[in-house]
Amino acid sequence: MATPGWAGRTMLLLMSCELVCLTVSAPPTVTLRNGVKMPLLAAGCWQYNSSTAFDSVSAAFSVGINMVDTALDYGNQDGVGRALASFPRDQIFVETKVPGCGLDKSTLNLLDCYKDTQKNLESDLSLLNVSYVDLVIVHFPPVTSFVTRSCNNWSGGCEMVRAQWKAMEEFYKQGKARAIGVSNYCPSCYDCLKSADIFPMVNQIQFHLGMGTDPAGFVSYHKKMGVQLQAYSVLGNNPIKHSASEEILRGNLTTSIGKSHNKSSVQVALKWVVDQGIPAVTKSANAKHLKEDLDLWSWELTAAEKEALDNHRNPAGSPSFACSSETASEFVV
């Protein structure tokens, strides 16, 4: 049989979605401050090129995952866009990221944060080939803040945060994003946005089993601020090996808890996160794994298992690489 052409492939995907999406119930949602409902599970695509992103995100949608997380910096927006094209736009929650305000790579000059963010937001939409996204977030605090490890205690820091955020607010008001937020933001960055018109709705941070339930006070801090946390590297991805943490995959705790529920160690680690009401972004290039990643709501952890997981410490990780020395307790809410 000849390989189906583009139209044929689209039909196959739609058919497989009709078969699968009707039988697999969509993940539960959390409600953002503006009423937008965000699924508790997303398929990510960091470290994937366009073609792997297309394959993996298409597979994720086909097994019933209804949310994708990508970023302009991942360089795979066109692949994600091609995967999106096979599904009705309103069936998928699309999240993307624009780079934190930074330096021009060739001249090393500081960029105009407002104009640069406007430009990045528009190119993100056009690469994804959609008329709106469900959520767009600022990928990280201004790059210059990595030197001081704080947004607000160096000259010009807050100005950069505010200029970038102004472009985000405008994009939201134009209806091009249903919600706006940040990623890797530190409490000092929010200090710069105290008088913003629209406060960030989401902060996507590193959060996974082994970090405890309130690393650096970020969980309680964001709860008080009304900012929804979202977890990335939720399986403790090793950025060099590009794989989930050994402790999560093969550690005694996740393995033994998984066994007693006939679930995998990864499912235990993912369930621990989403049970806290924190949406998780994971990724896989393997459709069987993606299907497992979605099966988090047909079973329950016992109270003793949950306590053991809460108290587990390893692998280490800090919520934000941009402010690893900053804890929420230094900041007054």
Ligand X SMILES: *[C@@H]1O[C@H](CO)[C@@H](O)[C@H](O)[C@H]1NC(C)=O
Contact 31, 39 (CB under 8 A): no
Q: Is 74 a catalytic residue?
A: yes
Residues 240-269 that bind ligand X (CB under 6 A): 252, 262
Closer residue to ligand NAP (CB): 158 or 322: 322
- The entry of ligand NAP, ligand X, none near residue 287 (CB within 5 to 8 angstroms by kind) is none
The verdict on 51 binding ligand X (CB under 6 A) reads: yes
The verdict on 254 binding ligand NAP (CB under 6 A) reads: no
3-state secondary structure the chain: CCCCCHHHHHHHHHHHHHHHHHHCCCCCEEECCCCCEEECEEEECCCCCHHHHHHHHHHHHHHCCCEEECCHHHCCHHHHHHHHCCCCHHHCEEEEEECCCCECCCCCCECCHHHHHHHHHHHHHHHHCCCCECEEEECCCCCCHHHHCCCCCCCCHHHHHHHHHHHHHHHHHCCCECCEEEECCCHHHHHCCCCCCCCCCEEEEECCCCCCCCHHHHHHHHHHHCCEEEEECCCCCECCCCECCHHHHHCHHHHHHHHHHCCCHHHHHHHHHHCCCCCEEECCCCHHHHHHHHCCCCCCCCHHHHHHHHHCCCCCCCCCHHHCCCCHHHCCC
Contact 181, 194 (CB under 8 A): no
Q: Which of 127, 281, 296, 328 binds ligand NAP (CB under 6 A)?
A: 281
Closer residue to ligand X (CB): 35 or 194: 194
The verdict on 283 binding ligand NAP (CB under 6 A) reads: yes
Which residue do the tokens 């010009």 mark? Answer: 156
Residue nearest to ligand NAP (CB): 44
The verdict on 284 binding ligand NAP (CB under 6 A) reads: yes
* 259 φ/ψ angles, rounded to the nearest 5 degrees: -55, -40
Instruction: Find the shortest distance in angstroms from Cβ 292 to ligand X.
Output: 7
The verdict on 176 binding ligand NAP (CB under 6 A) reads: no
Q: Per the structure block, which two tokens stand in for 76?
A: 């795979």
Find out whether 312 is annotated in a ligand binding site.
Answer: no
Closer residue to ligand NAP (CB): 160 or 202: 202
Residues 206-235 that bind ligand NAP (CB under 6 A): 232-235
Instruction: Find the shortest distance in angstroms from Cβ 251 to ligand X.
Output: 7
- The entry of ligand NAP, ligand X, none near residue 154 (CB within 5 to 8 angstroms by kind) is ligand X
Residue nearest to ligand X (CB): 150
- The entry of ligand X, ligand NAP, none near residue 266 (CB within 5 to 8 angstroms by kind) is ligand NAP
Amino acid at 228: Q
The verdict on 183 binding ligand NAP (CB under 6 A) reads: yes
The verdict on 324 binding ligand X (CB under 6 A) reads: no
Residues 36-75 that bind ligand NAP (CB under 6 A): 44-46, 69
Which residue do the tokens 């801090």 mark? Answer: 221
The verdict on 289 binding ligand NAP (CB under 6 A) reads: yes
Closer residue to ligand NAP (CB): 157 or 181: 181
Q: Which residues bind ligand X (CB under 6 A)?
A: 49, 51-52, 85, 129, 148-150, 153-154, 188, 252, 262, 325-326
Q: Which residues bind ligand NAP (CB under 6 A)?
A: 44-46, 69, 139, 183-184, 204, 232-237, 242-244, 264, 266, 281-286, 289, 292-293
Q: Which of the residues are catalytic?
A: 74
Which segments are annotated as binding site? 139
